[in-house]
Amino acid sequence: MAIDCVSTMPHHPTPRDEEQKHLVFDASLLNYHPHIPKQFIWPDHEKPSVTAPQLHVPLIDLRGFLSGDPVAAMEASRLVGEACQHHGFFLVVNHGVDDMLVAHAHAYMDNFFELPLTDKQRAHRKLGEHCGYASSFTGRFSSKLPWKETLSFRYSADKNSSKTVQDYLLHKLGDEFKHFGKVYQDYCEAMSKLSLAIMELLAMSLGVRRSHFREFFEENESIMRLNYYPPCQKPDLALGTGPHCDPTSLTILHQDRVGGLQVFVDDEWRSISPNLEAFVVNIGDTFKVNTIFISNINPILHNVYSTVASVCFQALANGRYKSCLHRAVVNRHTTRKSLAFFLCPKGDKVVAPPTELVDANNPRVYPDFTWPMLLEFTQKHYRADMNTLEVFSNWVQHSHI
Ligand SMILES: C=C1C[C@]23C[C@@]1(O)CC[C@H]2[C@]1(C)CCC[C@@](C)(C(=O)O)[C@H]1[C@@H]3C(=O)O
Ligand SMILES: O=C(O)CCC(=O)C(=O)O
Ligand SMILES: [Fe+2]
């Protein structure tokens, strides 16, 4: 039976769009259709198991650490280190982010994604760009389309930056989105603050100066993304977000009560159950690279400090650290939402080990790069998956830039 749920929308044409004929996934037509277009069907080896056994990730209470208690800070950093050694995922509670802000961020998401497609398209995400509204990336990809709509925008923690979240959303969507813009501006500020606190815990867990990563990310230029996953009548054939490791540095995710996040641990997919009070935190490829030179700086300290650090050191130094592969599944009945804050370094920061620390025993694993290079790679050349960093690294070394 022919499926006619994909509408044709006018938007800025590019040659690559030709093949797609400007297809835009209109959720209001597709959600309850018994069949799904073939572009959404994932190959057998990537098809999801909608119900996966639960993964018990550590629930880390940040209250003591955030109020300056050194013993609580040590304990929180120990748990962070342990989680990063195993899979790189952990939950934080008593994180200091206002519950109402989180509730508003979810409520405003509903308002936005329930708008008619033509209104959402005002913020249309252009090919090769990472900001704006995208519906299943039609136009960008022609197969393995994700069953989701997204709205993404930049956040700069640099106080002198003129580009605010609020201005961007207002400019794209119109004056009536002023409050909408303010909610996400506040949300990003809260996420940036929380990320810097978590960076202190990560530094402690690796046995380096507590402020080391905080300073590196102080003026972060991050990405905020609203993920909206409509119901799908074939959840065993489709995926909301395909398997990938985040190419960014650190992700702070808030998932609503529906559930759908799965992590690949010990050779199987496991789910992380929703917890409205918690943020799910995971490490991305760019942070993984940052930690390599830390391991090189002081291997003795690492051995003394904890086995966690030395195990990380070995895995990282050999470039075999396959952390945090994850994906999001969809379901038949309920729309699912998640708010993802991707912490990224400021554009001019070079992600590299200092040259004086590299020698025959500590060879370079990845080439020097800046975050904008990797971001461009994921937007113009390669769809982020579980191999992004390796492929990017080869690409840079074969001097494509
Ligand atoms: C830099 C990025 C690319 C993606 C968004 C993000 O900010 C971080 C994760 C990436 C992504 C989610 C990984 C899975 C594939 C992807 C295409 C998606 O399904 O959204 C990725 C994002 C992208 O827009 O390229
Ligand atoms: O929605 C989710 O639970 C995960 C989304 C995700 O992994 C991402 O946007 O990078
Ligand atoms: Fe992700």
Each residue's pLDDT tens digit, 12-39 = 334 444 444 456 667 677 888 889 999 9
Q: Is residue 23 in a domain?
A: no
Extract the tokens encoding 251.
Answer: 């992700």
Residue 137: pLDDT band with limits 50, 70, 90: confident
Residue 79: pLDDT band with limits 50, 70, 90: very high
Atom of ligand 2 nearest to the CA of 272: 3
Q: Is residue 24 in a domain?
A: no
Residue 358: pLDDT band with limits 50, 70, 90: low
Q: Is residue 357 in a domain?
A: yes
Q: Is residue 109 in a domain?
A: yes
Q: Is residue 340 in a domain?
A: yes
CA-proximal residue: ligand 1, atom 8 (nearest)? 246
Tell whether ligand 2 has an atom less than 6 A from the beta carbon of residue 262. Answer: no
336 CA to middle of ligand 3, Å? 15
Q: Is residue 289 in a domain?
A: yes
Write out the residue range of the structural domain in which residue 375 sits: 37-398
Residue 363: pLDDT band with limits 50, 70, 90: confident
Q: Bin 122: left if φ > 0, else alpha if -120 < ψ < 50, else beta.
A: alpha
Tell whether ligand 2 has an atom less than 6 A from the beta carbon of residue 224. Answer: no
Prediction ipTM score: 0.98
Residues designated catalytic = 336
Atom of ligand 2 nearest to the CA of 246: 10
383 CA to middle of ligand 1, Å? 7
Q: Is residue 19 in a domain?
A: no
Please compute the mean of the pLDDT values over residues 294-319 and round it to a whole number.
35
Residues with Cβ–ion distance below 5 A, ligand 3: 246
Domain total of the chain:
1
CA distance 33 to 145: 17
Residue to probe by mutation, ligand 2, list 225, 338, 341, most atoms within 8 Å of CB: 338
| Residue in 143, 167, 141 with CA at minimum distance from that of residue 153 | 167
Q: Is residue 180 in a domain?
A: yes
What's 52's domain CATH number?
2.60.120.330
Percent of the chain with pLDDT over 90: 64
Q: What is the pLDDT of residue 361?
A: 75
CA distance 313 to 335: 41
